[in-house]
Amino acid sequence: MNQVGSRVEDRRIRLGLAQDELCAKLAQVTGGAWVADRRDIYRIEKARRTVTDLEVLALSLALGCPVVWLLVGEPPEPVVFQKSDDNARA
């Protein structure tokens, strides 16, 4: 089952945004390419409408959350890079 919609709703509510306000943010982050209305957001949140990859990206930008969280519900694991000590090998 697709959980993107429930995460969109959860994040929107946590941010204190109305569906109309999320629509405005989506229009802003997409430069007007995605002009959603409340019905679109409602359908997404209730899993009555699927979202494209680009829409997931726009939602993550508008909601200020990682794409991976919208998709799988978990924050990405931090990547730790260790600098190799080339002098120690010489």
| Predicted model pTM | 0.81
Domain that holds residue 56: 4-72
Q: Distance between alpha carbon 24 and the CA centroid of its chain, in Å?
A: 15
Please give the pLDDT value at position 74. 77
Report if residue 80 sits inside a domain.
Answer: no
The structural domain count of the chain equals 1
Burial class (CB in 10 A: 0-12, 13-18, 19+), 57: middle
Confidence of residue 76 (pLDDT cuts 50, 70, 90): low
Please give the pLDDT value at position 36. 95
Report if residue 60 sits inside a domain.
Answer: yes
Q: Is the pLDDT of residue 90 over 70?
A: no
Report if residue 16 sits inside a domain.
Answer: yes
Report if residue 29 sits inside a domain.
Answer: yes
Report if residue 82 sits inside a domain.
Answer: no
CATH number at residue 68: 1.10.260.40
14-71 tens-digit pLDDT: 999 999 999 999 999 999 999 999 999 999 999 999 999 999 999 999 999 999 999 9
Report if residue 77 sits inside a domain.
Answer: no
